[in-house]
Amino acid sequence: MACFLALCCAATPALAQKTDKPALQAKQGKDQKKRKVTKAGGTPAKAALVRSSGVKSSKLQASTQPARASFGQMAGLHAVSDPLALRSSVALVIDQDTREVLFSKNDLAVLPIASLTKLMTGMVVSEAKLAMDEPITITQDDVDTEKGSTSRLRVGATLSRGELLHLALMSSENRAAHALGRTFPGGLPAFVAVMNAKAQMLGMKDTRYVEPTGLSSRNQASAQDLALLVSAASADPLLRELSTSLGHQVVLGRQTLQFNNTNRLVSSPQWDIGLQKTGYISEAGQCLVMQAKVSGRKLIMVFLDSAGKFSRLADAERVKRWVEKSPVSHSGQAGALPAKS
């Protein structure tokens, strides 16, 4: 700008003398401010959007990035249609008592299961008969380095094993689940080994666990395997109670934290849910497993890789209405719940 003004002064002295200096300074200040805004928000149009919305540019850029496709989407599972028009690419509904398969869709597909993992974590902890009142302190090892997720349980917080189990099953608390595995006799490797051994014992032939939270996409299973897990877990009164709890308060020093259930269906008077667990990571999509009584029948429901934040719950509602309309028989669906091996 300085060089440009010097050239103008040399070529046209009269014009330079008539230049309004205050106006020029104001224009320079406006241009400088415009450059700053453009740098913060990208293009001027995006900067205007940032100013009007009050959203930081980093958050705006993140929100405009395309969502990562799930394993099910990449495999083309969502292209498979079904009579109920479910948003889940995988679904399985079984009568727990008769083992009759009422509804199935891609039920043999092996996919990441996200925090449905915590149901096995809870089963291993419960069956180990460890002291539930034993204090456990959250450490840096429990911090999520897989997905970078946050937690309300700060490093240094101390809770009982029972409280950690409650938060893991009810609120899907990742640090709680990891701490349960880390403090298991033999440490995390021993805990994961027991998880996999238990899966094999239940006949979950396509299941693999590598950690206790579900943050890793390498934790995988089929809907048929998860139906076996839900059936076994629903026989444990502690898992039933904690997974369907509406909420729980945790006192940490002078602070009281309120944790709530990740599945809003547990508070609905239209549902009689005996056991449940939700899950989500981008690779798995929205997931849900439940044992619930519908029209007098104990049903096991598995929904994997659902597209949309609330679609897994909507799918459960669709299945419930479908069963209520014709509760006696839904024959013609594939197979039956495989026997335990």
Show which residues are catalytic. 115, 118, 172
Angle at 115 between CA 114 and CA 119, to 5 degrees: 130
Can you spell out the DSSP letters for 216-281?
A: STT-EE-HHHHHHHHHHHTT-HHHHHHHT--EEEEEETTEEEEEE-S-GGGG-TT--EEEEEEEEE
- Chain position carrying tokens 């104990």: 298
- Which two structure tokens, joined as six digits, stand for 13? 């002295």
CA distance 36 to 163: 49
Please give the structure tokens belonging to residue 312. Answer: 């897994």
**DSSP code for 85:** -
Q: Torsion angle, CA of 36/41/43/48, rounded to 10 degrees?
A: -100
Contact (CB, 8 A) for 211 and 219: yes
| Closest C-alpha to 288, from 304, 311, 269 | 304
Write out the two tokens for 331.
């024959």
